[in-house]
Amino acid sequence: MKSAVPKPDLFTKSNYEFVATLDARGWRDALLRAKAQLDPTWSAEKEEWKGVIGPDIENMYPGIIPVPVVRLIEEPERLHGIELPALLVNLNAPDGVIRDEFEKALRAARENYPSLVLKRGPQALNASFGEQKFSTWKSHKILQLADLLAWKAREKINVSEAELGSWLGFDKKKTELAKKLLYDALRSIPALAAQIAAVHAM
């Protein structure tokens, strides 16, 4: 059945050609934009900042401050919220003990704070964001879906999520999977940002 609601003008194939070129940093920035678009409170914050920043605020989104994955702490200090949860390493211990205890502590911590980037088997601790994860996000068009969901909420359009998915060429089941992948990706922004910080600190 043909919908009475037309696709929004923003939804054209050419608008999403950039997705094929995204690397880890590009995905982080695109996901931050998607997260802001889907957050109704961000629109209100933009209005508050318009007088200070001006029209450029329309292209600004909440950012992630890059912090090292592992860092030397020499003075007593409190960790910032963006650094939590964290594992601190006691460098007084021998390196062999540190490696063994770190792996045990990490596995235990992951019971309560599971990673959104998984690798099965003995290489589980080597998991990281890479082309396989990015390919999954691209093939399920999570950025396009984020824009459609934000457009639906912003314009108060009476159209089902299944119908939005059909505009992406998805059936209901694949639309539900794409939505799950989208929100998993949004939750993974801090992890992706931490990986980028680690790579650029090398």
Q: Is residue 137 part of a domain?
A: yes
Q: Which pLDDT band, with edges at 50, 70 and 90, does 67 fall under?
A: low
pLDDT tens for residues 133-156?
Answer: 999 999 999 999 999 999 999 889
pLDDT tens for residues 74-102?
Answer: 666 677 777 778 888 888 888 888 888 88
Q: Is residue 8 part of a domain?
A: no
Instruction: Compute the mean pLDDT over every residue in the chain, rounded to the nearest whole number.
Output: 80
Q: Is residue 93 part of a domain?
A: yes
Q: Is residue 5 part of a domain?
A: no
Q: Is residue 48 part of a domain?
A: yes
Of all residues in the chain, the percent with pLDDT exceeding 70 is: 73
User: Is the model more confident about 42 or about 162?
Assistant: 162
Q: Is residue 63 part of a domain?
A: yes
pLDDT tens for residues 177-197?
Answer: 999 999 999 988 888 887 887
* Structural domain of 85: 13-201
Output the pTM of the full model.
0.69
Q: Is residue 21 part of a domain?
A: yes
pLDDT at 172: 94
Q: Is residue 2 part of a domain?
A: no
Give the count of domains, the chain.
1
For tokens 């457009």, name the residue: 151
